[in-house]
Structure 1
Amino acid sequence: MPEPELTTLTAPDGTAFRDLDHDGVMAPFEDPRRTPGERADDLVARLSLAEKIGLFFHDIIEVGPGGALMEGDGRVARSSTRARVVDRLINHVNVHALPTARESARWSNALQALAATTPHSIPVTVSTDPRHSSTENSGAAFAAGAMSAWPEPLGLAALHDVERVREFADAARQEYLAVGIRSALHPQIDLGTEPRWGRQFHTFGNDSAFVADVAAAYVEGFQLGPDLGPTSVATMAKHFPGGGPQLDGEDAHFPYGREQVYPGGRFADHLVPFRRAIAAGTSALMPYYGMPVGLELDGVPVEEVGFGYNRQILTGLLREQLGFDGVICTDWGLVTGTVVAGRPLPARAWGVEHLSELDRLVKIIDAGADQLGGESRTDLLLEAVEQGLVGEQRLDASVRRLLLVKLRLGLFDDPFVDEDVAEEVVGRADLRAAGRRAQAESMVLLEHRPVAGAPVLPLRPGLRLYVEGWPETAAARLGEVVGDPAEADVAVVRLEAPFEPRDDLFLETFFHQGSLAYRPGLVARLRQIARTTPLIIGANLERPALLAAFADVATVLLTDVGASAEAFADVLSGAVAPLGRLPFEVPRSADAVRRSQSDVANDTEDPLYPAGAGLSV
Structure 2
Amino acid sequence: MATTDETYLDPARSVDDRVEDLLGRMTLEEKAGQLFHAMITIGEGGALAGADNMFGTPSTDEYLNTLHLTHVNVLSVPDDPRQMARWHNLLQELAARTRLGIPVTIATDPRHAFTDNPAAALLSGPFSQWPETLGLAATRDEALMEQHADIARQEYLAVGLRTALHPQVDLATEPRWARANGTFGEDADLTGRMGAAYVHGFQGTGKIVGGEFGPDSVSTMTKHFPGGGPQKDGEDPHFAYGREQVYPGGRFDEHLAPFRKLLEAGTRQMMPYYGMPVGLEGIPEVGFGFNKPIIQGLVRDELGFDGIVCTDWGLVSDAEIFGAAFPARAWGVEDLSVQDRVAMILDAGVDQLGGESCPEVVVELVRQGRVSEERIDASVRRLLREKFVLGLFDERRYVDVEAAAAVVGKPSFVAAGLAAQAASITVLTNDGVLPLPAGRRIYGEGVDVSSYGTAVSDPAQADVAILRLKAPWEQRSNGFEAFFHTGSLDFPADEVARIQAICAQVPTIVEVYLDRPAILTPFVDAAAALVVDFGAADAPLLEALGTPGVARGRLPFDLPRSMAAVEASREDVPFDTADPLFRFGHGLSL
Same fold (TM over 0.5): yes
Q: 1:363 aligned to 344, 349, 354, which one?
A: 344
Asked whether the 8 Å contact 2:95–2:103 carries over to 1, the reply is yes
Contact kept, 8 Å, 2:237 with 2:244, in 1: the verdict is yes
Q: Could you say which residue in structure 2 is the equivalent of 1:151?
A: 131
- Structure 2 SS opposite 1:78: coil
1:477–1:573 distance in 2 versus 1, CA, 3 Å: farther
Contact residue 292 and residue 347 of structure 2 kept, 8 A: yes
CA contact (8 A) 1:536 1:555 kept: yes
Question: Which residue does the alignment assign to 1:460?
Answer: 437
Q: Secondary structure at the match of 1:93?
A: strand
Change (3 A) 1:361 1:77: farther
SS at structure 1 position matched to 2:39 = strand
Q: How far apart are residue 50 of structure 1 and its match?
A: 1.0
1:326 equivalent among 281, 292, 307: 307
Aligned 8 A contact 2:440 2:463 in 1: yes
Deviations 1:208-234 (A, max 9, x none): 112111222111111111632111100
Give the match for residue 469 of structure 1. 446
The one-letter code of the counterpart of 2:274 is: Y
**Matching residue within 492, 496, 499 for 1:526:** 499
Q: Which amino acid aligns with 2:375?
A: R
Mapped to 1, the partners of 2:587 and 2:195 lie a distance apart of: 24
Structure 1 pair 73–266 and aligned structure 2 pair: CA distance change class (3 A): closer
Select 2:408's aligned residue among 419, 423, 426.
426
**Structure 1 residues without counterparts, runs of 5 or longer:** 1-20, 450-454
> How far apart are 1:77 and its partner, in Å?
8.0
Q: Which amino acid aligns with 2:35?
A: F
Show CA shifts across 1:8-65 (max 9, x none).
xxxxxxxxxxxxx42x342221110122222112211111111100100000000001
Q: Which runs of 4+ in 1 moved over 4 A?
A: none
Partner of 1:310: 291
2:578 aligned with 1:605: yes
Q: How many residue pairs are counted as aligned between the two chains?
A: 582
Residue 485 of structure 1 deviates from its aligned partner by 0.6
| Equivalent of residue 475 in structure 2, options 498, 501, 517 | 501
Question: Partners of 1:362 and 1:418 in 2: how far apart?
Answer: 41
Match of residue 251 from structure 1: 236
Contact 2:510 2:523 in 1 (8 A): no
Q: Does 1:132 align with 2:112?
A: yes
Q: Give the partner amino acid of 1:386.
A: R
Mapped contact 1:77–1:83 kept (Cα < 8 A): no
Report how far residue 79 of structure 1 moved.
3.8
8 Å contact kept, 2:296–2:349: yes
Give a deviation string over 1:528-574, Cα, whole Å, max 9, x none: 11111001011111111000021111101110111111211211232
State the one-letter code of the partner of 2:169. I
Tell me which residue corresponds to 2:49.
70
Distance 2:182 2:322 in 1: 26
Task: Confirm or deny: 8 A CA contact 1:77 1:376 kept in the other structure.
Answer: no
Selected match of 1:142 from 110, 117, 122: 122
Other structure's SS at 1:493 match: strand
C-alpha separation in 2, matches of 1:173 and 1:576: 29
Q: Could you tell me which residue of structure 2 aligns to residue 7 of structure 1?
A: none
8 Å Cα contact 2:51/2:59 also seen in 1:
yes
Matches within 5 A, 1:41-120: 41-72=20-51, 78-99=57-78, 100-120=80-100
Match of 1:204 in 2: 184
Q: Which residue identity is paired with 1:433?
A: A
SS at match of 1:181: coil
Aligned mates of 1:239, 1:590 — CA distance in 2: 27
Q: What stretches of structure 2 of length at least 5 have no aligned partner?
A: 206-210
Equivalent in 364, 375, 385 of residue 404 of structure 1 = 385
User: Given residue 528 of structure 2, which amino acid in structure 1 is its aligned partner?
Assistant: T
**In the alignment, is the contact (CA less than 8 A) between 1:258 and 1:350 conserved in 2?**
yes
SS in 2 for 1:550: helix
Q: Is 1:221 aligned to residue 198 of structure 2? A: no
- Tell me, in whole angstroms, the C-alpha distance in 2 between the residues paired with 1:174 and 1:421: 11
Match of 1:447 in 2: 429
- Asked if the contact 1:133/1:562 (under 8 Å) is kept, the reply is yes
Q: Which residue of 1 aligns with 2:208?
A: none
What's the TM-score once normalised by structure 1's chain length?
Answer: 0.93
How far the C-alpha of 1:186 sits from its partner, in A, is 0.2
Q: CA RMSD in A?
A: 1.4
Aligned to 1:485: 459
CA distance in 2, matches of 1:77, 1:528: 49
Q: What do residues 325-378 of structure 1 show as CA deviations (whole Å, max 9, x unaligned)?
A: 000000000000111333121100000000011101110111110000000112
